[in-house]
Amino acid sequence: MFFPLLFEWEKNVHQRTLFAKRLRRLRKAANLSLDRAGEKGGLSGKYWGEVERSEKSPTLEKLVAMAKALGVPLHALVQIEREEDEGKMLRKRIDAILDNSSSKQLKRIYCYVLDTIGSA
């Protein structure tokens, strides 16, 4: 009995973490601070930050308010499985490209990645 409950808890923690990362990405893409996002959604910046750190799980009403504050439909907030699958798919595609690249191409790719997203 304990192990299924533990598994379910871990699964929920993973989903909350994915949701929190998605919420943060959407907020940053909207160029909003925690306080401004909270203000636009009728929530506190402190609460918004707690959700982004996976410390709190928002109710449906708060999810609706968050989506409105971000200017996105509610379903855009909760597409976490799809986003995770897309990430896995993209990694596989990138790996396939890298596997078939020469050393010279890999150096160019490396420099491009550093210029695009910064140093590791």
How confident is the model over 18-40, as pLDDT tens digits? 889 889 999 998 999 999 999 99
φ/ψ (deg, to 5) at 102? -80, 170
**Amino acid identity at 54:** S
Identify which has the larger pLDDT, 96 or 11: 96
SS3 content of the chain, % helix, strand, coil (to 5): 80, 0, 20
Mean pLDDT of 104-112: 88
Please tell me the distance from the alpha carbon of residue 120 to that of residue 93, in angstroms, as a whole number. Answer: 21
Mean residue pLDDT of the chain comes to: 83
Identify which has the larger pLDDT, 10 or 67: 67
Using alpha carbons only, give the angle 83, 84, 87 rounded to the nearest 5 degrees.
Answer: 85
